[in-house]
Amino acid sequence: MTTTSSPLTQDELKAMVGQAALRYIAPGDIVGVGTGSTVNKFIDALATIKDQVRAAVSSSEASTARLQAIGIPVLDANAVEQLSVYVDGADEIDGHGYMIKGGGAALTREKIVAALAQRFVCIADESKRVATLGQFPLPVEVIPMAAQQIARRFAALGGQATLRLKDGQPLVTDNGQHILDVHGLRITDPLAFESAVNQWPGVVTVGVFAHQKASVCLLGTASGVETLTY
């Protein structure tokens, strides 16, 4: 009788890539740690080698709490000149390592920590791999008084921007700002797009990570972890 194994769940794929990311951590490292459900699996894996990790720089209050709970000290980004590695997930990643991030509302701090790192290791399941960015609604952190003006600018590009809500009220980020989620974009030149939107008054951070792109992506697939380098 032959038996067939059931396909891995998305949760199992996340755990698999979280574990695989440990090979990019060297003893004594200060590790940049992102935010989200896949990163939570990485933090769980970090707990198994926490004695080798000197400290972490975190991209959100939620990740900071998880890291401290497993006994890893968390440093302020201002206390660190450089990180060897930053590990984070993505909402989408294309064939060049360009990403859309910010589904968890931590995009500004994620971009700040990513900019400190020599290597960005993206951990994701294969559903996040796309040919062109834009199917996932693009998160943009904005200063609240500029939200409608920015929404009109996206409308001129063919996008529909909606204010992200939580419990019926505008979601407030760790930085005290709001998030617009923009549907209907097709981002064919992520570097130029990121540079342009960064210039709009009131934009804090756009969730295109092209200037801080992934160096490596560990992609969880049915046949195991696929390592993509860019």
Q: 């699996």: which residue's tokens? A: 41
- Give the pLDDT score at 5: 62
- Give the pLDDT score at 161: 98
Active site residues: 110
Sign (positive/negative) of CA torsion 154, 167, 135, 227? positive
Ligand-binding annotation for 91, yes or no, is: yes
SS3 41: helix
How far apart CA 128 and CA 220 sit, in angstroms, is 10
Q: Along the 230 residues of the chain, how does pLDDT read in single tens digits?
A: 444 567 888 899 999 999 999 999 999 999 999 999 999 999 999 999 999 999 999 999 999 999 999 999 999 999 999 999 999 999 999 999 999 999 999 999 999 999 999 999 999 999 999 999 999 999 999 999 999 999 999 999 999 999 999 999 999 999 999 999 999 999 999 999 999 999 999 999 999 999 999 999 999 999 999 999 99
Domain topology for 138-205: Alpha-Beta Plaits (3.30.70)
In the chain, CATH 3.30.70.260 covers 138-205
Sheet strands (E) in 66-183: 74-75, 83-88, 92-93, 99-100, 117-125, 138-142, 160-163, 165-166, 169-170, 178-183
- Give the pLDDT score at 8: 84
Ligand-binding annotation for 128, yes or no, is: yes
Ligand-binding annotation for 88, yes or no, is: yes
Backbone angles phi, psi at 210, to 5 degrees: -110, -45
CATH number of 10-130+211-229: 3.40.50.1360
SS3 117: strand
In the chain, CATH 3.40.50.1360 covers 10-130+211-229
